[in-house]
């Protein structure tokens, strides 16, 4: 593929945001999607870390795409990603220690987040720098948006708060189940159903 | 309690009470993707159990004997990934040599074990829980693999029957699988506090 003009750059961006939204349409990166969305703040932190790692690794992979040997490809991808995840992890430990504590092992688990490897393989190893960066931004933002929506729903229903602020009236009874694994699975399942419904209507 | 009891408890807790899929959401991708057929799910579970056992043990050794001694914890993630990729390569060669039919039916899913969150997850959790002895590390990592096998087999069994059910059109496929998984986690929550 050639270096992109304006149209295909925009297309690369919107693909990630909606038509191929990683969590809602491609079902990639399910573990963090389910695990960190008990509230909005950890979801947002997770999303930002993933955007950082995704952009950096796409840049690196795109730059070295002509040097890669096919059978060592995946290993090179994961090593690149591991290096950037280490940076993100150390940054969070230094500047947002509480958040780092909450997210725990899910930050290092970004290394095996399928979204990043999938984008390295499907986009960055075949495309130039510009397309790779835009694609990473689109995918990352799509992922973050999904995480935040899921986090908002679960936090509102499980505690009546949004990002730590009280919003629900006093009479509201918190749904304990929403904070537990079952809340994550069922809410995401219903969200996927809703997205299917919307896309069917459009088509 | 003597050592044997502690180890047995740890094994049971990893399989049932702290099941990686149901309580930590690790390994959800293959859990939703592969588990369409029971025999394939079981094969996948065995491969993952072997890889978790091997890499959990090896990463504990590397972490304690090399990284901590020389203050190289920054390299932890990179070292873990290299060990896991090596272990997966080993399994891939073994399966290709001795079970060619299984190998061809797995296709891309076998090399993808190296990006299975269960494997890296258990290495990280062993590190996080500050597991003191090698025996405990071995038991915990094998237990995590067995727990994954249990989860993926239950799900495959349910999905074989789900194919016959009349599900609303927009919930077909992944959504209904997720909701089923949610109900399964509720069942497994009944075990909480058992150990």
Rounded Cα–Cα distance for residues A49 and A87 (Å):
10
Structure tokens at B65: 């004997």
Q: Which of A79, A86, A185 sits opposite B178 (nearest CB)?
A: A185
| Cβ separation B117–A112 shorter than 8 A | yes
- pLDDT for res A74: 78
Predicted complex ipTM: 0.83
Per-residue confidence band for B1, with pLDDT thresholds at 50, 70 and 90? low
Indicate the domain borders of chain A. Answer: 6-202
User: A145 with A13: CB under 8 angstroms?
Assistant: no
With CA atoms as reference, the chain A residue closest to B86 would be: A75
Within 13 Å of residue A6, how many CA atoms lie on the same side as its CB? 0
What confidence tens digit (pLDDT) does each residue in B40-58 have? 888 888 888 988 999 999 9
Q: How far is CA B177 from CA A30, A201, B148, in A?
A: 13, 22, 16
C-alpha closest to that of B152 among B101, B99, B113, B124 = B113
**Across the strands, what pairs with A166?**
A161
CA distance A38 to chain B (A): 13
DSSP secondary structure, B18-60, as one string? T-HHHHH-TTHHHHHHTTTSHHHHHHHHHHHHHHHHHHHHHHH
What are the residue boundaries of the structural domains of chain B, listed by start?
34-189
Count contacts between A and B (CB, < 8 Å): 122
Q: In this predicted structure, what is the pLDDT of residue A4? A: 45
CA dihedral for A75, B54, B29, A176, sign (positive or negative): negative
Q: Are A80 and A61 spatial neighbours (Cβ–Cβ below 8 Å)?
A: yes
Position A6 pLDDT exceeds 60: no
The terminus-to-terminus CA distance of chain A in angstroms comes to: 29
Number of Cβ atoms within 10 Å of the Cβ of B82: 18
Stretch (H or E) spanning A166: strand A165-166
Contact, A112 vs B123, CB < 8 A? no
DSSP state of A165: E
| Greatest CA separation for chain B | 60
Tell me what the pLDDT averaged over chain B comes to: 85
- What span, in angstroms and rounded, lies between the C-alpha atoms of A40 and B101? 46
Residues on chain B bordering chain A, Cβ-to-Cβ distance under 8 angstroms: 22-29, 32-33, 74, 76-78, 81-82, 85, 111, 114-117, 119-121, 124-125, 128, 168-172, 174-179, 181-183, 185-186, 189
How far apart (Å, rounded) are the C-alpha atoms in residues B14 and B145?
9
Centre a 10 Å sphere on the Cβ of residue A127 and count the other Cβ atoms it contains.
23
Condensed to tens digits (0 to 9), the pLDDT of residues B170-184 reads 888 888 888 988 898
Residues in CB range of A30: below 8 A, 6 or more apart: A23, B25, B28, B29, B32
Q: Which tens digits make up the pLDDT trace of A32-73?
A: 888 888 889 999 999 999 999 999 999 999 998 888 877 778
Nearest to A181 among B23, B81, B172 (CB): B23
Higher pLDDT, A110 or A11: A110
pLDDT for A5 beyond 90: no
Arithmetic mean of pLDDT, B4-29:
85
SS (H, E, C) A26-65: CCCCHHHHHHCCCCHHHHHHHHHHHHHHHHHHHHHHHHCC
């Amino acid at each position: 593929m050639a270096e992109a003009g304006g149209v295909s750059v925009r297309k690369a961006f919107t693909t990630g945001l909606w038509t191929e939204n990683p969590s809602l349409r491609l079902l990639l990166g399910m573990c963090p999607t389910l695990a960190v969305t008990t509230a909005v703040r950890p979801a947002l932190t997770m999303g930002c870390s993933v955007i950082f790692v995704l952009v950096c690794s796409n840049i690196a992979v795109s730059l070295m795409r002509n040097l890669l040997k096919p059978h060592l490809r995946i290993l090179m991808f994961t090593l690149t990603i591991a290096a950037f995840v280490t940076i993100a992890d150390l940054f969070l430990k230094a500047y947002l220690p509480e958040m780092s504590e909450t997210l725990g092992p899910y930050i290092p688990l970004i290394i095996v987040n399928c979204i990043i490897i999938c984008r390295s393989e499907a986009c960055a190893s075949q495309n130039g720098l510009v397309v790779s960066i835009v694609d990473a931004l689109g995918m990352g933002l799509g992922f973050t948006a999904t995480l935040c929506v899921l986090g908002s729903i679960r936090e509102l229903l499980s505690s009546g708060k949004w990002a730590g602020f009280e919003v629900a009236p006093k009479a509201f009874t918190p749904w304990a189940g929403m904070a537990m694994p079952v809340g994550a699975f069922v809410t995401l399942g219903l969200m996927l159903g809703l997205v299917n419904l919307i896309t069917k209507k459009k088509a | 309690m003597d050592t044997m009891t502690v180890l047995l408890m740890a094994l049971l807790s990893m399989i049932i009470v702290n099941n990686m899929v149901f309580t930590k959401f690790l390994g959800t991708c293959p859990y939703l993707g592969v588990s369409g057929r029971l025999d394939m799910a079981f094969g996948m579970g065995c491969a993952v159990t072997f890889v978790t056992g091997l890499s959990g043990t090896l990463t504990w050794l590397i972490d304690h004997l090399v990284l901590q001694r020389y203050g190289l914890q920054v390299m932890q993630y990179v070292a873990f990934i290299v060990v896991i990729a090596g272990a997966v390569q080993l399994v891939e060669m073994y399966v290709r040599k001795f079970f060619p039919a299984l190998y061809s039916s797995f296709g891309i899913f076998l090399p993808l074990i190296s990006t299975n969150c269960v494997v890296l997850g258990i290495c990280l959790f062993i590190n996080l829980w500050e597991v003191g002895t090698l025996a405990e590390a071995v038991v915990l990592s094998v237990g995590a693999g067995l727990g994954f096998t249990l989860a993926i087999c239950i799900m495959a069994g349910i999905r074989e029957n789900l194919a016959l059910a009349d599900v609303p059109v927009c919930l077909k496929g992944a959504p209904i699988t997720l909701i089923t998984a949610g109900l399964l986690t509720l069942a497994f929550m009944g075990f909480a506090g058992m150990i």
